[in-house]
Amino acid sequence: MSATLVLQDVARHFGGVPAVDGVSLRVPAGQITGLIGPNGAGKTTVVNLITGLLHLTSGKVLLEDRDVSREEAPDLARAGVARTFQNIRLVPDASVLDNVIAGFHRHEKAGLWANLLGLPSARAETAELKRQAMQLLERFDMTALAEHRAGGLSYGHQRRIEMMRALATNPKLLLLDEPVAGMNDAEAESLAGIFRKVAADGVAVLLIEHNMRFVMSLCSHIYVLASGRLIAEGLPEAVGRDPKVVEAYLGA
């Protein structure tokens, strides 16, 4: 079975120092795959390599069997790669709704002149996107905050906006970079339900996390990264018992 995303022996060096080295992994559609590791293991570097924000030093990235190693970030986004950011990145002065609508960008069809002049086709499209965005807001239980300034909301709400914006792109591959950092267990559990549903709809989800317990409960397959190298992979229970993983997390 071919996976949505395949990394083959991927490496990235910064001035000769390897940040990520020899990483190979597979993220199949319809499942949540975990990528865990202690601070500074290179998890976010892997996400930046997949999304084209950084370029590989060596190795290959395959998206649905197509080599995308050299493609630029906007092209990858248009090909169906979406992500959330570890440090929240929104348009703080725009409303929640407008932040989510921005995620639909790659599906917009109205022409430049229609959008510049506000012609009916652009209006109809924006109205339709607003409707779809409201559905997303409903799913995340945030309809009451639709018109609020995104930057004024709580941390948990801002994380949800990031996720809605990523889902609005209707991705094939969704990269979640520490999506529940700083949330309490109840909040994290409600998001876990949403992630399961997204995966069940056929999206390949790569969950980058710190929180072992959360990853264990959610992922069908886990990769463990430490100092830029994969040190273990497999089913959650097996990985959790692996002495190398325990050592990386707790120290020797």
Partner 1 sequence: MINFFYTYQSLFDHILVYALLAMSQYVVLRAGVFSLGTAGFAAMGAYGTALLITKAGWSPVAAIAAGALLGTVTSALLAFPLSRLRGVFQAVATLAFVQIVLSATQNWVSLTNGALGVNGIPKVASTPVLLVVVVVVVLLLVAMGRYSVGRAMDVIREDETVAVSLGISVPYYHRIAFIVSGALAGLGGALQATSSYAITPNEFGFSMLVAALTMVVLGGRTTVWGALVGAAILTSLPELFRVFADYRNVVQGILLMLVIVYLPRGVADTVLGRMRDRRLRRAALASAPVPEQKPQIVNTNMEAGAHP
Pick one of 66, 120, 154, 237: the residue that binds partner 1 (CB under 8 A).
154
Q: For 249, left (φ over 0), alpha (ψ -120 to 50), or beta?
A: alpha
Are 223 and 36 spatial neighbours (Cβ–Cβ below 8 Å)? yes
Mask 35-64, x = binds partner 1 (CB under 8 A)?
----------------xxx-----------
Are 77 and 169 spatial neighbours (Cβ–Cβ below 8 Å)? yes
d(CA 217, CA 192): 9
Residue 89, interface with partner 1 (CB under 8 A)? yes
Residue 213, interface with partner 1 (CB under 8 A)? no
Which of 210, 201, 194 minimizes the C-alpha distance to 172? 201
Q: Could you report how far apart the first and last alpha carbons of the chain are, in Å?
A: 38
Give the footprint of partner 1 on residues 163-202 (CB under 8 A).
Answer: 165, 169
Residue 153, interface with partner 1 (CB under 8 A)? yes
Residue 239, interface with partner 1 (CB under 8 A)? no
Residue 83, interface with partner 1 (CB under 8 A)? yes
Instruction: Please report how close the Cβ of residue 227 comes to partner 1 at its closest, in angstroms.
Output: 25
Residue 78, interface with partner 1 (CB under 8 A)? yes
Of the pair 174, 232, the CB lying nearest partner 1 is at: 174
Burial of 127 (0-12, 13-18, 19+ CB in 10 A): exposed
Quick one: tokens of 69? 């190693």
d(CA 70, CA 61): 9
Quick one: tokens of 143? 């309809």
Residue 134, interface with partner 1 (CB under 8 A)? no
d(CA 126, CA 104): 10
Instruction: Please report how close the Cβ of residue 153 comes to partner 1 at its closest, in angstroms.
Output: 5
Residue 122, interface with partner 1 (CB under 8 A)? yes
Residue 101, interface with partner 1 (CB under 8 A)? yes
Binding site for partner 1 (CB under 8 A): 51-53, 72-75, 77-78, 82-83, 85, 89-94, 98, 101-103, 105-106, 108, 110, 112, 114-118, 122-123, 125-126, 144-145, 147-149, 151-154, 157, 165, 169
